[in-house]
Chain A
Amino acid sequence: MIRRLLFKNLKFVYKITQWNKHRFTPAGLLIVGAMIASGIFGVDVRQSMAFQIFAITASLLLISTFGVLSFRGQFKITRLLPQFGTANQLMRYQIQIENLGNLNQSDLLLIDELETILPDYQEFSGSYDPQDKNRNRFDRTVGYPRLLALIRSKRGATIQPVNIGSIARSENIKLDVELLPLRRGYIHFLQSSIIRSDPLGLVRALKKYRLANKLLVLPKTYRAPKIELKGLRKYQHGGMSLASSVGDSQEFMSLRDYRPGDPLRAIHWRSYAKMGSPVVKEFHDEFFVRQGLILDTFQEYKSTTVFEEAISIAASFCLSLPGQDALLDLIFIGDKPHRFTSGRGLGQVESMLEPLACAQPCREDAFSKLCDMIPEYNAETSGMICILLDWDDKRKGLIESICLAGIPVVVFVVVDPGGSMDLEPGPLTSHPERLIPLPCDRIQSALDDVNRFSLAEE
Chain B
Amino acid sequence: MKQSVIQLRAAPPFSIGAALLVWGWQCQFLPYAILMAVLLEISYFLSWRWSITDKEFNTLSDFSGLMFFVVVTYIFIDEGARGIFVILSVLPFILYPLLATQKYSTEGTMKLSALLVSLRKLDPTHSQEASIRTDVSLPYFIACLLSASSGNNRTIEFFIAVSLLLALVLWFVRPKRYSASIWLISIAMSLSLAYGMQLGMRHLQARIESSFLGIFDQFMWRYRDPNRATTAIGSLGRLKLSDRIVLRVKSEKKLKTPILLREASYSNFGHGVWSSQQSDFSVIDQNTDTSWTLVGDVESANNLNISTYMVNEKGVVPLPLGTSTIKDVTAIEIQKNPLGTVLMDIREGWVQYTVEYENDIYDDIPPNDNDLFILDYYKKYFQRLADELQLASMSTEQAIDTVYRFFQDNFTYSLAQKQRYPKGKYLSNFLFKNRQGHCEYFATATALLLRSVGIPTRYAVGYSVDEYSALEGQYIVRSRHAHSWTLVYVDEQWVVMDTTPSIWAPYEQENASAIEPLMDLWSWITYTWSRWQSDDATEEEENTFMILWLLFPLIGILAWRIYFRERIQKRGKQILELQQLNCPGKDSRFYELVNILEKSCRPRQAGETLPLWIERIENRVQGDHLQPALDMHYQYRFDPAGISSSKQKEFHELVEKLLASKEEWLAAVD
Tell me if A34 counts as interface (CB < 8 A to partner B).
yes
Q: Does A200 contact B (CB under 8 A)?
A: yes
**Chain A residues within an 8 Å CB radius of B415:** none
Does A370 reach chain B (CB closer than 8 Å)? no
The docked-state distance in angstroms from the alpha carbon of A67 to that of B148 is: 30
| Interface segment out of the listed A53-61, A351-359, A447-455 | A53-61
Which chain A positions have C-beta within 8 A of B153? 49
Specify which of A30, A64, A67, A105 lies most central, judged by the most chain B CB atoms within 10 Å of its CB. Answer: A30
Question: Is A347 part of the binding interface, using a Cβ–Cβ cutoff of 8 Å?
Answer: no
Binding-face segment, B168-176, B378-386, B437-445, B616-624: B168-176
Residues of B within 8 A of A31 (CB): 166
Task: Name the residue on B nearest A136 (C-beta).
Answer: B118
Q: Does B117 contact A (CB under 8 A)?
A: yes
Contacts of A63 in B (CB 8 A): 186, 189-190, 193
Instruction: Judge if B85 is at the interface, Cβ distance under 8 Å.
Output: yes
Assuming the A-B contacts A47-B85, A199-B174, are A42 and B186 also in contact, with contact meaning beta carbons closer than 8 angstroms in the complex?
no
How many angstroms between the C-alpha atoms of A437 and B227 in the bound complex? 88
Question: In the complex, which residue of chain A has the Cβ closest to the Cβ of B5?
Answer: A160
Whether B64 is near chain A, meaning CB under 8 Å from some CB there, is no
Q: Does A304 contact B (CB under 8 A)?
A: no
Tell me if B139 is interfacial: C-beta within 8 Å of chain A.
yes
Does A198 have its Cβ within 8 Å of any Cβ on chain B? yes
Q: Are A34's CB and B152's CB within 8 A?
A: no
Chain A residues within 8 Å of B85, by CB: 41, 47-48
Could you tell me the distance between the alpha carbons of A286 and B197 in the complex, rounded to whole angstroms?
89
Q: Are B142 and A30 in contact (CB under 8 A)?
A: yes
Interface size class of A (residues with CB under 8 A): 35 or more
In the complex, how many residue pairs between chain A and chain B have their CB atoms under 8 Å apart?
A: 155
A135 within 8 A of B: yes
Q: How far is it, in angstroms, between the C-alpha of A102 and the C-alpha of B189 when the chains are bound?
A: 29
* CB-contact partner of A45 in B183, B186, B202, under 8 A: B202
Residues of A within 8 A of B162 (CB): 52-53, 56
Bitwise, A16-52 to B at CB < 8 A (1) or not (0) is 0000000001110011011001100110111111111
A139, B120: Cα distance in complex, Å = 13
Knowing A50-B149, A106-B177, say if A131 contacts B127 (CB, 8 Å). yes
Q: Known contacts A26-B9, A42-B149: does B159 contact A52 (CB below 8 Å)?
A: yes
Interface residues of A in 48-106 (CB under 8 A from B): 48-60, 62-64, 67, 88, 105-106
- A50 and B146 in contact (CB under 8 A), knowing A26-B9, A201-B173? yes
User: What are the interface flags for A156-181 relative to B under an 8 Å C-beta threshold, 1 for contact and 0 otherwise?
Assistant: 00100000000000000000000010
> Which parts of B168-220 form the interface with A (CB within 8 Å)?
169-170, 173-178, 182-183, 185-187, 189-191, 193-195, 197-198, 201-202, 205
Tell me how far the C-beta of B657 lies from the nearest C-beta in chain A, rounded to whole angstroms: 36
Interchain CB contact (< 8 A) of B158 among A26, A52, A106: A52
CB of A55 within 8 A of CB of B197, answer yes
Q: Are A52 and B198 in contact (CB under 8 A)?
A: yes
The verdict on A38 contacting B149 (CB below 8 Å), with A55-B198, A63-B186, A180-B3 known, is: yes
In the complex the two chains form, what is the Cα distance from A379 to B174 in whole Å?
74
Given A199-B186, A201-B175, decide whether A51 and B193 contact each other with a Cβ distance below 8 A.
no
Q: Are A53 and B126 interface neighbours, CB within 8 A?
A: no
CB distance from B480 to the nearest CB of A (A): 26
Q: Which residue of B lies closest to A158 (CB)?
A: B128
The answer, yes or no, to whether A291 is at the interface (CB within 8 Å) is no
A59 touches B190 (CB 8 A): yes
What string of 1s and 0s marks CB contacts (under 8 Å) between B114-148 and chain A? 00011001110011110000000011001001101
Interface of A, secondary structure class, is helix
B182 and A199 contact, CB distance less than 8 A = yes
Query: Does A201 lie within 8 Å of B170, measured CB to CB?
Result: yes
Report chain B residues within 8 Å CB of A202. Answer: 170
B178:A199 contact, CB within 8 angstroms: yes
Q: List the B side residues contacting A198 at CB < 8 Å.
A: 175, 186
CA distance A25 to B8 in the complex (A): 10
B145, B194, B205: the one within 8 Å of A44 (CB): B205
| Distance, CA A33 to CA B183, complexed state (A) | 22
**Residue in A44, A48, A107 whose Cβ sees the most chain B Cβ within 10 Å:** A48
At the interface, yes or no: A197 with Cβ under 8 Å from chain B?
A: yes
Q: B150 interface residue, CB < 8 Å from A?
A: yes
Q: Which residue of chain B has the shortest Cβ distance to A44 in the bound complex?
A: B205
- A38 / chain B contacts, CB cutoff of 8 Å: 146, 149
| Nearest chain B CB to A90 CB, angstrom units | 8
Contact A60 B149 (CB under 8 A): no
Which A residues lie within 8 Å of B643 (CB)? none
**Which residues A103-151 have CB closer than 8 A to chain B?**
105-107, 130-131, 134-136, 138-139, 145
CB–CB A130/B126 < 8 A: yes
Are A27 and B145 closer than 8 Å at their CB atoms?
no
B186 near A41: Cβ-Cβ < 8 Å: no
Question: Across the interface, which residues of A come within 8 angstroms of B194, CB to CB?
Answer: 52, 55-56, 58-60
Residues of A within 8 A of B154 (CB): 49
Contact in complex: B146, A37 (CB < 8 Å): yes
**A34 & B193 in contact (Cβ 8 Å cutoff):** no
Instruction: Judge whether A41 and B150 touch: CB under 8 Å.
Output: yes
Contact B176 A139 (CB under 8 A): no
User: Are A199 and B183 within 8 A (Cβ)?
Assistant: yes
Nearest CB on A from B574, distance (A): 17
Specify which chain B residues have a CB less than 8 angstroms from the CB of A158 in the assembled complex.
128
Complexed CA–CA distance, A180 and B185 (Å): 42
B654 at the binding interface (Cβ < 8 Å)? no
Query: Does B471 interact with chain A (Cβ within 8 Å)?
Result: no
Give the distance in Å from the alpha carbon of A56 to the alpha carbon of B154 in the complex: 16
Question: Are B177 and A107 interface neighbours, CB within 8 A?
Answer: yes
Nearest-Cβ distance from residue B330 to partner chain A, whole angstroms: 28
Contacts of B169 in A (CB 8 A): 27
- A297 and B195 CA atoms in complex are apart in Å by 66
Asked if B338 lies at the interface with its beta carbon under 8 angstroms from chain A, I say no
Which of A26, A47, A135 contacts B122 (CB under 8 A)? A135
Q: Name the distance in Å between A108's Cβ and chain B's nearest Cβ.
A: 8
B150 pairs with A48, CB closer than 8 A: yes
Are A48 and B191 in touch, CB under 8 angstroms? no
Q: Which residues of B contact A88 (CB under 8 A)?
A: 1
Report Cα–Cα, A16/B6, bound state, in Å.
Answer: 22
Q: Is the CB of A49 within 8 A of B151?
A: yes
Interface string of B1-33 (1 = CB under 8 A from A): 101000111000000000000000010000000
Q: Which residues of B contact A145 (CB under 8 A)?
A: 118, 129
Residue of B129, B142, B148, B194 contacting most chain A CB atoms (<10 Å): B194
For residue A168, give the distance in angstroms from its CB to the closest CB of chain B.
Answer: 13
Residues of chain A contacted by B139 (CB below 8 angstroms): 30, 33
Given the complex, which residues of B lie within 8 Å of A33, measured CB to CB?
Answer: 139, 142
B163 touches A (CB below 8 Å): yes
Q: Name A197's contact: one of B175, B193, B197 (CB within 8 Å).
A: B175
Residues of chain B contacted by A54 (CB below 8 angstroms): 198, 201
Nearest A residue (CB) for B178: A199
Are the CB atoms of A45 and B149 closer together than 8 Å? no
Q: Is B594 an interface residue (CB 8 A)?
A: no
Cβ of B496 under 8 Å from chain A? no
Are B152 and A49 touching (Cβ within 8 A)? yes
Within the complex, the shortest CB–CB distance from A226 to chain B, in Å, comes to 29
Q: Determine if B626 is an interface residue (Cβ-Cβ < 8 Å).
A: no
* Bound-complex Cα distance A434 to B200 (A): 82
Interface residues of B (CB under 8 A from A): 1, 3, 7-9, 26, 84-85, 88, 117-118, 121-123, 126-129, 138-139, 142, 145-146, 148-154, 158-159, 162-163, 166, 169-170, 173-178, 182-183, 185-187, 189-191, 193-195, 197-198, 201-202, 205
A sample of 20 cross-chain residue pairs with beta-carbon separation below 8 angstroms, ordered by A number, consists of: A37-B146, A42-B201, A45-B205, A51-B198, A53-B162, A55-B195, A55-B201, A56-B163, A58-B197, A59-B190, A60-B166, A60-B194, A63-B190, A134-B122, A135-B121, A135-B122, A145-B129, A199-B178, A199-B182, A200-B187
Other 9 A-B pairs with CB < 8 A, given A26-B9, A33-B142, A60-B190: A26-B8, A31-B166, A33-B139, A50-B150, A51-B202, A57-B166, A62-B190, A135-B121, A200-B174
> Nearest 6 CB-CB pairs, A to B?
A134-B121, A59-B194, A55-B198, A107-B177, A55-B197, A59-B193
